[in-house]
Structure 1
Amino acid sequence: MTAVRKLAMTSLVLALGILPVQAQERETAAPLPLNELRTFTEVLERIRTSYVEPVDDATLLENAIRGMLEGLDPHSAYLEPEAFQGLQDTTTGQFGGLGLEVGQEDGFIKVISPIDDTPASRAGIEPGDLIVKIDDHPVKGMSLMDAVEQMRGAPGSKITLTLVRGAGRPFDVQLERAVIKVRSVRTETLEPGYAYLRITQFQNNTGDEVRRSLVSLNEKGELKGLVMDLRNNPGGVLQSAVEVADAFLTEGLIVYTKGRLANTELRFNATAGNPSADVPVV
């Protein structure tokens, strides 16, 4: 295995891995900055007394917490219980929704592919359709994550998407959400010896799915090359991303995590005997 390939696989895990974080005891820290806290409370009080409309304290404090996390880096965020449950549902591959793989293009939400036998596929939504409104709310400027959250919901609940197809005029599609079971791995044979592997996200069982897929492809004949498609993959479970990388490596460090607490420092190494360690991957 070349050093370049090892670096590529390690970069993949680093870029796409998400490590669940539990509440932990704080390490000994410096005293709280009293001047900054005083400024914070003054701003909070000014908003409470002078903002054009009343805002409840819980909303103000949640927004402040959200701002603290979002200001750290693009991958840190504050999740309310409902949003956290949605994240947990995503990693299991089962949730209430429409059955769409989507990306973002020119500020709109673009349909990559409807999942077979889901509300989206039954409604005739096609790859390449642009979603311009969700329940009459424009998606222009909306983040991909926010749009996905709006399209998810309780099975049986209704939703209307406004779509644009090609150069045509916008049209509405009414759908009823259902339980969506998503396989995170899809494969197909391109020609004898060469295959396509699509990973939509890193769910709890993605590593096992990839290994089974590689074994199945090898049983059809010697695998000489593989196209791995990670487009619009939002990440997911770190352990699963490590397992995927390990399927193509036989030795060496895959990735490590480092933090300020001792139990956040982990190292993941490749193991021998992997099914596709010598298969070229693009």
Structure 2
Amino acid sequence: MIPLNRILSRPAGTWLKLSVVLMLGLGSSYAGSAYADADQNHIPLEQIQTLSQVFEIVKSNYVDPTSDKKLMTGAISGMVSALDPHSAYLTPKEFKEMQVVTDGKFGGLGIEVTGDHGVLKVVAPIDGTPAAKAGVEPGDLIVKIDGKALQGIGLQKTVDMMRGKPGTQVTLTILRPHQNQPIHLTLTRAIIKVQSVRSAMLAPDYGYIRISQFQENTGRKTRQAVEQLEKTAHGHLKGLILDLRNNPGGVLGAGVETADTFLNKGLIVYTKGRTPDSDMRFTAHGPDYLHGAPMIVLINGGSASAAEIVTGALKDDHRALVMGQRSFGKGSVQTVIPLSNGGALKLTTALYYTPAGCSIQSQGIVPNVEIQPANPQLRAMDEDLLKESELQGVLKAPDTCSKVKPQYTITAPASKPALVTAKTSSGSASEEAMEAASVLKPNLGKDYVLREALAILEKQAVPVDENGHSVQEVIPLSVASGQ
């Protein structure tokens, strides 16, 4: 997963400001200066001597002749990737490709992945893309691409393997929790044109907005969606559900704008790092386009980065009730530093905190109302979904909010998990997958979480777990953060 970055340059050994484009999840970001501490500028001569010695030994004795460029690229990549899962060295080609995925139109499969122990783990497929239509799910483990094992290849190179000319096919070999056999999915690459914001009326005077990822125009599109829903409701919505489930993140500025759409004032998010340049604060300016009408935000384990920032702001500022499962927990800032060779260094430099001072990193956002599957197998599958905290070398922020618990728990009705076998995205996807992708027609009959959220908005009683029993209770919409 390509996280929040800020782009810096370094002429003559000094960090200079380059840009003010901010993003999280999929692209380039903000500028800074005076990056390194003065007392950290010493040169570790002994370690450099060891590196030089290893370089010479490999160059002279390795069974196959290898180029200096390959050895040095490997050395740099290994050094940076040893820090944490999101720091990386980008070759000139990788750096160029990284900058083309934030405008809502790019080639590929429409899947957000992160590296872990040499393979790919799915954070979330993007609505309506080949990956979503083929049945790729959060938590899937991609072990082969076109029959080639991914162990040891590296995150960026495996992402490159999934990209290609639109219309060509790629086969993914997937391991899924609680399925004994590998799943083989053949997907057709496409130019991904993501409509990040979609909306509909769930019931008279009750609106629904689905954001699949955060692009440059998502904040504006969200405001337009609210205005259209208001118009449909003859000028007054009684409530709104904001669906951020399986939203892998995106542009930070769009996330801040989206949160600001529903706030009159208050802190949205802030960052803390080692240097003053790493510290930022984003506050709401208003107005609240929903005019104070109650809100519910839906999240799950596939909600990450910018989606977590929006959720944390609306929860901590007591603007919305959060419902679903704990989010992914991607809360670190990456600075993208262009290098003289045309490549770049992507380095973790700060962590994100919600208005209440809770670290998103490795913690995620805890919902006010937790939805727990009744089916033991489904519950086990939920527990097995990938979280940021499970990644190798992950940063773990000391956090006083780590013991936050949901105020309410609702047990979803028992149902059998769907079994997926080999299929292709070029054929017709399953009815369930197609309906999940079509957020313009949310299905209250099949989407239990959405149905219960609407009931809460309408101030109806819902089945809340209390002391091992289900009790019908009206959940208040103005709920404290529980911290």
TM-score, normalised relative to structure 1: 0.72
Aligned AA for 1:228?
D
1:184 Cα offset (Å): 2.1
1:275 Cα offset (Å): 0.9
1:158 Cα offset (Å): 4.4
What is the CA deviation profile of residues 72-131 of structure 1, one whole-angstrom value per residue up to 9, with x for unaligned ones? 333322222322233222111111123x44668x97766966754x6668xx73465966
Query: Is the contact made by 2:123 and 2:246 (CA closer than 8 Å) also made in structure 1?
Result: no
Higher mean alpha-carbon deviation, 188-197 vs 140-149, is at: 140-149
2:226 is matched with 214
Distance 1:148 1:197 in 2: 30
Query: Is the contact made by 2:145 and 2:171 (CA closer than 8 Å) also made in structure 1?
Result: yes
1:275 is matched with 289
What is the CA deviation profile of residues 226-245 of structure 1, one whole-angstrom value per residue up to 9, with x for unaligned ones? 24324251x33221221122
Aligned AA for 1:173?
T
- Relative distance call for 1:109 and 1:214 in structure 2 (3 A) is same
1:47 is matched with 58
Name whichever structure is richer in helix by fraction: 1
Distance 2:255 2:75 in 1: 32
Alignment of 1:196-207 (within 5 A): 196-207=208-219
1:75 is matched with 86
2:197 is matched with 185
Query: Is the contact made by 2:125 and 2:136 (CA closer than 8 Å) also made in structure 1?
Result: yes
Equivalent position SS for 1:52:
coil
Distance 1:164 1:254 in 2: 38
- Pair 1:252 & 2:238 matched: no
Aligned AA for 1:229?
L
Distance 2:121 2:221 in 1: 28
1:150 is matched with 161
Query: Is the contact made by 1:19 and 1:238 (CA closer than 8 Å) also made in structure 2?
Result: no
1:143 Cα offset (Å): 8.0
Can you give the 5+ residue segments of structure 1 that lack an aligned partner in the other structure? 1-15
Task: Note the aligned Cα RMSD (angstroms).
Answer: 3.9
Match of 2:254 among 240, 245, 254: 240
Aligned AA for 1:274?
D
Distance 1:139 1:17 in 2: 21
Query: Is the contact made by 1:133 and 1:162 (CA closer than 8 Å) also made in structure 2?
Result: yes
- Relative distance call for 1:251 and 1:101 in structure 2 (3 A) is same
- Pair 1:125 & 2:138 matched: no
Query: Is the contact made by 1:217 and 1:223 (CA closer than 8 Å) also made in structure 2?
Result: no
Equivalent position SS for 2:88:
coil
1:196 Cα offset (Å): 4.0
1:38 is matched with 49
Equivalent position SS for 1:236:
coil
2:8 is matched with 22
Q: How many residues align?
A: 260
- Pair 1:224 & 2:236 matched: no
Query: Is the contact made by 2:134 and 2:185 (CA closer than 8 Å) also made in structure 1?
Result: no
- Relative distance call for 1:82 and 1:215 in structure 2 (3 A) is farther
1:271 Cα offset (Å): 0.6
Aligned AA for 1:268?
F
Aligned AA for 2:9?
A
1:173 is matched with 186
Aligned AA for 1:184?
S
1:45 Cα offset (Å): 1.7
- Relative distance call for 1:169 and 1:228 in structure 2 (3 A) is closer
Aligned AA for 2:106?
F
Distance 1:156 1:252 in 2: 47
Equivalent position SS for 1:251:
coil
- Relative distance call for 1:141 and 1:112 in structure 2 (3 A) is farther
Query: Is the contact made by 1:103 and 1:112 (CA closer than 8 Å) also made in structure 2?
Result: yes
Query: Is the contact made by 1:163 and 1:173 (CA closer than 8 Å) also made in structure 2?
Result: no
1:204 Cα offset (Å): 1.5
Distance 1:140 1:232 in 2: 27
Equivalent position SS for 2:241:
strand
Distance 1:67 1:34 in 2: 19
1:251 Cα offset (Å): 1.2
1:216 Cα offset (Å): 2.0
- Pair 1:85 & 2:100 matched: no
2:367 is matched with none
Query: Is the contact made by 1:139 and 1:147 (CA closer than 8 Å) also made in structure 2?
Result: yes
Distance 2:270 2:182 in 1: 50
Query: Is the contact made by 1:89 and 1:95 (CA closer than 8 Å) also made in structure 2?
Result: yes
1:145 Cα offset (Å): 6.6
Higher mean alpha-carbon deviation, 269-278 vs 159-168, is at: 159-168
Distance 2:154 2:198 in 1: 26
Distance 1:134 1:236 in 2: 25
1:162 Cα offset (Å): 5.1
Aligned AA for 2:211?
I
